[in-house]
Amino acid sequence: MADTGEGKKEEADYKRLHSFPLIRHSDMPEEMRVEAMELCVTACEKYATNNESAAKMIKEMMDKKFGSSWHVVIGEGFGFEITHEVKNLLYMFFGGSLAVCVWKCS
């Protein structure tokens, strides 16, 4: 029984460690970065099993708040090379291995 309790403790520690957003790269101003990060976390939690819906929600909200031409990619194990407007890129991880890339390109 001690093994079961210890396993649950390790799993809880892992979930606690990986439940916060980790910004990998961003050139956004502080205020925009905080809003975008909170929006990404909210969308990923709301649509935990549907990355497409989460990306759509983030894109629509960023378009409303910061003007049009925002793009969003959400998933695991992807690479990218993009052209973006300066001070309009956010690349972050959430929940361990779920990556979110948000950028503006007009």
Mapping DSSP onto H, E and C, the string for the chain reads: CHHHHHHHHHHHHHHHHCCCCEEEEECCCHHHHHHHHHHHHHHHHHCCCCHHHHHHHHHHHHHHHHCCCEEEEEECCCCCCCCCCCCCEEEEEECCCEEEEEEECC
Average pLDDT for 5-17: 57
pLDDT at 104 over 90: yes
Question: Is the pLDDT higher at 12 or at 83?
Answer: 83
Would you kindly state where each structural domain of the chain is located, as residue ranges? 24-104
Which tens digit of pLDDT belongs to each residue from 67-88? 999 999 999 999 899 999 999 9
Q: Per-residue pLDDT for 21 more than 90?
A: no
Structure confidence at residue 9 (pLDDT)? 61
Domain 24-104: CATH architecture, name and number where available? 2-Layer Sandwich (3.30)
Report if pTM > 0.85.
Answer: no
> Is the pLDDT reported for residue 52 higher than 60?
yes
